[in-house]
């Protein structure tokens, strides 16, 4: 299957705030869907998270989410 799912900024917030969204993405990933986003979406997400009240929690969770779907960037 060559299908993909593009993640926009609100999806990252939903995945962090509600476990069921992350679970849905895990199922899609396991079903062979390619999970994609863009650098500009990541920049927007990090900027919005940085400005928020719970910045450290959100940014840490986003980093963990990215590691799950894309692997470590240091590898």
- Can you give the residue ranges of every domain in the chain? 4-70
pLDDT tier for residue 75 given thresholds of 50, 70 and 90: very low
Identify the pLDDT of residue 1: 56
**Exposed, middle or buried, 16 (CB in 10 Å: 0-12/13-18/19+)?**
buried
Query: From residue 72, how far is each of 11, 20, 24, 59, 67 by CA, in Å?
Result: 20, 23, 21, 15, 5
- The SS3 of residue 51 is helix
Is residue 73 scored above 80 in pLDDT? no
Asked whether the CA dihedral 34, 60, 17, 37 is positive or negative, the reply is negative
5-60 tens-digit pLDDT:
899 999 999 999 998 988 888 888 889 888 889 999 999 999 999 998 899 999 99
């Amino acid at each position: 299957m060559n299908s993909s799912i593009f993640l926009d900024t609100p999806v990252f917030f939903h995945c962090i705030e509600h476990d069921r969204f992350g679970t849905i993405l895990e199922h899609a990933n396991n079903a062979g869907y390619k999970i994609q986003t863009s650098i500009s979406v990541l920049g927007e997400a990090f900027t919005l998270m940085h400005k928020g009240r719970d910045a450290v929690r959100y940014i840490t969770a986003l980093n963990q989410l990215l590691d799950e779907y894309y692997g470590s960037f240091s590898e």
